[in-house]
Amino acid sequence: MTSTPDIDPAARTEIEAQAFRKLVEHLQKNPEVQNIDLMNLAYFCRNCMSKWYRAAAEERGIELDYDQAREIIYGMPYGDYKDRYQEKASAEKLEAFQTAEKKASV
């Protein structure tokens, strides 16, 4: 078993920020990955990330509304993204989401 290296807090923040930017870039390049798929697989989606982004900005005194945060995460206004890429979730995907949601709330 390996242990994590002792990383300077400022360097850790920079590394985490770079990893986050790569994740956002990856999601923007792969719009075929639907939010329902992310929710069913990993229990978060682009909208969750937008909320986390907005909350982090707010903690630093930066005013950012939800739509602005979503535009940062989606790489375009949410309505445009929805029109271009969002598919209607299948009954199976919705059922899987509801089942996972029930498990999480127990």
Task: Tell me the per-residue pLDDT of 33-77, one tens digit each, with 9 for 90 and over.
Answer: 999 999 999 999 999 999 999 999 999 999 999 999 999 999 999
Q: Is residue 1 scored above 90 in pLDDT?
A: no
CA-closest candidate to residue 97, choices 50, 86, 105: 105
Q: CA 56 to CA 22: how far, in whole Å?
A: 18
pLDDT of residue 3: 83
Q: Is residue 106 scored above 70 in pLDDT?
A: no
- Segment 8-26, tens digit of pLDDT: 999 999 999 999 999 999 9
- Tokens 């949601």 correspond to what residue? 101
Enumerate domains of the chain plus CATH numbers. 45-106 (1.10.3340.10)
